[in-house]
Amino acid sequence: MVAEAWPKLAEAVRHGTSLTIVGRGPSARFARANDAPHPVIGYNLLAHQGTPLRFAFLSRAHELLAAGSTSTQVSVPADCEVLTESKAEAALQGHYSPLTVGSIHFGLMTLLTLLNELRDDTAQPLTVRLVGFDFRSYSSDDDLEKQTRGRDWRQVSVDVSSQRELFFSLRTQLSRIRTVHYGFDPRSDYDPRSWPAEVLQTSARPAVEVVAEITTNHLGSSDRLRELIRGAATAGADAVKLQMRDVLSFYTAEKLASPYESPFGHTFLDYRRGLELSDAQIDIAVDEARANGLSLFFSALDEISLRRILDRGFSRVKLPSTISERRKFLQFASDEFLGEVVISTGMTDADYEQFVLDRFKRQSRLFLLHCISAYPAWPGDLNLAVINRYSKIDDPRVVAGYSSHDIGSDASILAVGAGARMLEKHIKIGATDWVHFDDTAMDVHAEFPDYVRRVRAAEGMLGSDEKRVLPSEHHKY
């Protein structure tokens, strides 16, 4: 049905490599549709900068244009293929549920879903460039054609800001298309002045390693473990981390015998044993991380677990805040493991920091991660300035970082500015009422991708400390 309504574009989507969608936002003035080397779709636009468009998609609010409403006196160019949102929704019935954002339907996601459905799933993803989607809402300056929105500005603000968040959250969920956003939002991929090329016009970015912290949130399931690792890779993480502990030696007999309800039984021992990684699951994690281009490492909470890591030849280990008081084990680790060591410093003070620096002198690298051991951590308790102090430690092996137990991404963004070069964020799948501290983690599909995008945006904004004139700069007279 869609191919019949939009035959030329359907052909281009199926057999082409890229296209552009031009919206009504002010960044669209940097793109010239007649210069595009690929098809251009106008979103609520029938012409762009004086050039009639061959393809147009009209949201519900603009469908009257397709009918040439006498109230607007807008006619559709003879050669323009027009698809309306209502027809697209009808074509996608059974494959897509329209999204209502604020008080309106989110037509852009309908259009992107339509393109995704048209694309052959055996082909490489179609590159879809978006320009003119600035998601601003306050005046006629926010519209390419200087049209004002005749509604309550408060409702408009809710509608447009909600669309912005939803777009940047869902854009990676369509497997057959790759969206590229040109704009001035911190999460935009490229400066619109580079359209249609994919050219970064920013200063050199520092390398911040994003670690997806699984701990034991695979919940004993091998399938869940695979999904978490794949989800972390899709989100853009650099590494995944899991956790090992020898349950019988780590906890007291009294703690193990205490009541705890879980699918594994009725005691804390049942719960912890059910979560621990088997040798087969470690193999799965190794294979999945390698297949998805991620590095993999583990937290070791005791000597038995550290020996498992040593026996397998891993080059990095984490010593978490949980064992900061177990100095005998830390001394053992400093003697036995000479690769990269990641140490988080939750529930410790400057004395512990000095102990770590004095003890771990032979390791190839020492990642010192500021951490607040609260689940979740209150924003006013984060003391992110500690990261800046870590970044100034006079030892080239030391890398400052942040292990995030706070909610959201704001603190991690600030951590990048404070000098963090490694960020850890807990991930999970869905909500589980029998897992302790579950609310600290981000859903790997729904939340974590946006976290990574925001961190990458922070890297780009931080840029370089070299002061120089950039190509994008010009005097305003």
Q: Is the pLDDT of residue 231 over 90?
A: yes
pLDDT of residue 337: 97
CA distance 403 to 407: 12
Q: How many helical (H) and strand (E) elements, i.e. helices and strands, does the chain have? A: 17, 21
* Digit-coded pLDDT (tens) for 251-305: 999 999 999 999 999 999 999 999 999 999 999 999 999 999 999 999 999 999 9
d(CA 166, CA 160): 10
Long-range contacts at 218-227 (CB < 8 A, ≥ 24 apart): 218/242, 218/275, 218/277, 218/281, 219/274, 219/275, 219/432, 219/435, 220/264, 220/274, 220/275, 220/276, 222/280, 222/281, 222/284, 224/429, 225/281, 225/284, 225/285, 225/288, 226/284, 226/288, 227/429, 227/444
Task: Please state whether the predicted TM-score (pTM) of the whole model is above 0.95.
Answer: no
Computed over every residue of the chain, the mean pLDDT equals 89
Q: Mind listing the pLDDT tens digit for each residue in 374-421?
A: 999 999 999 999 999 999 999 999 999 999 999 999 999 999 999 999
* Angle 423-200-38 from CA coordinates, rounded to 5°: 125
Q: Is the pLDDT of residue 70 over 50?
A: no
* Cβ atoms 421, 209 nearer than 8 A: yes
Both structure tokens of 417: 């500015």
Residue 18 has pLDDT above 60, yes or no: yes
What is the pLDDT, as a whole number, of residue 153? Answer: 75
DSSP character at residue 133: -
CA distances in angstroms from 446 to 44, 189, 317, listed in the order given: 29, 20, 28
Helix (H), strand (E) at residue 19: strand 18-22
- Structure tokens that stand for 377 in this block: 């951590």
The region that residue 113 occupies, defined by phi over 0 for left and psi between -120 and 50 for alpha, beta otherwise, is alpha
Among candidate residues 106, 12, 438, the one with its CA nearest the CA of residue 20: 12
pLDDT tens readout for residues 133-170: 998 865 555 666 656 655 677 888 888 888 898 898 88
> Nearest Cα to 408, choosing from 461, 345, 343, 454?
454
> DSSP states of 335-381 as a string?
HH--SEEEEE-TT--HHHHHHHHHH--SSSEEEEEEE---SSBPGGG
Q: Which 8-state DSSP code applies to residue 221?
A: -
Please say whether the beta carbons of 340 and 316 come within 8 A: yes
pLDDT in tens, 293-345: 999 999 999 999 999 999 999 999 999 999 999 999 999 999 999 999 999 99
pLDDT at res. 96: 84
Tell me the β-bridge partners of 300: 244
Residue 476: both structure tokens together? 């305003």
d(CA 87, CA 60): 10
Instruction: Provide CB contacts within 8 A for 120, sequence distance 6+.
Output: 14, 176
pLDDT of 104 higher than 60: yes
